[in-house]
Structure 1
Amino acid sequence: FSGGRGSCRSRSARAGLAFSVCQMERLLRAGRYAKRLGASAPIFLAAVIQFLTATVLGLAGDEARHRRTAYITPELVDRALHNHELLSGLFTMTTVSQVAPARY
């Protein structure tokens, strides 16, 4: 047993991330992108994906607020990506599904 109480924190919690660092590492290893994998690579990837997600959802939320709707729909995400100069170039080959789950 190493340390006292509370010393067992996940790498995501230590990095202050909501996305799982362990899952990013598992996906990087499963993809066999390189023979060796640095310790900070999955942390950096999780941080980049979290930043992109927050940016896209923030833009979609602004679009929803502009249209006076309470929900972020796939159409609003697609429109937010299309209207943003940098993200539209990044997501040119991406299809945003227009099939939304049923509301309860």
Structure 2
Amino acid sequence: MTGKRRHRNCHRRRKRVNSRCAQARLRFPKSCMNHLLREGHYSHRLSSSTPDFLAAILEYLISSILELADNEARNDCRKRITPQDVDMAVCNHPELSRLFRNASISQQEELMIPGFQSLPGVLEASSQNQNFSQLR
């Protein structure tokens, strides 16, 4: 035969391109973690594995918090997780409550901590803002 021979390699399937998150088997974006670390000026030099490590830690913390909040919601026979469920899950867990002792959960009307007495001026101001927004 005088024709050209076909190479066996021409019919190979192309390799699927994986993102850095898929390679590390993480759900949090590695590039976003890298950007936040560089933007925060936490160090002059960063290792290439630093964003992986931070993403893995955040993924572990979020999954454990959501699991505990899901248990709180199921105890109340509800299917949706509310900010109160997240707050109760964090408060009831000793290590998480120590870690998040200075954090505040957004979209929460009142703190659910036993023995906590809220300031009367804060609640009155928030109720006045709600009444003002209803008048518009």
For 1:89 and 1:5, how far apart are their aligned partners in 2?
A: 46
Bigger relative contact order (CA 8 A; separation at least 6): 1
Match of 2:99 in 1: 90
Q: Aligned-pair distance for 1:9? A: 1.1
Matched, 1:43 2:52: yes
SS where residue 39 of structure 1 aligns?
coil
Matched to 1:71, the amino acid is R
Match of 2:82 in 1: 73
For 1:66 and 1:99, how far apart are their aligned partners in 2?
A: 19
Match of 1:5 in 2: 15
Query: What TM-score, normalized by structure 2, do the two folds share?
Result: 0.68
Match of 1:62 in 2: 71
For 1:77 and 1:10, how far apart are their aligned partners in 2?
A: 31
Deviations 1:10-29 (A, max 9, x none): 11100110000000000000
Point out 4+ residue stretches in structure 1 off by more than 6 angstroms. Answer: none
Q: Aligned-pair distance for 1:70? A: 1.1
SS where residue 22 of structure 1 aligns?
helix
For 1:5 and 1:15, how far apart are their aligned partners in 2?
A: 17
In the alignment, structure 2 segments of 5+ residues that lack a partner are: 1-13, 110-136
- Kindly report the root-mean-square deviation, in angstroms, between the aligned alpha carbons of the 2 structures: 1.3
Looking at CA atoms only, which structure, 1 or 2, has the larger radius of gyration?
2
Matched, 1:15 2:27: no
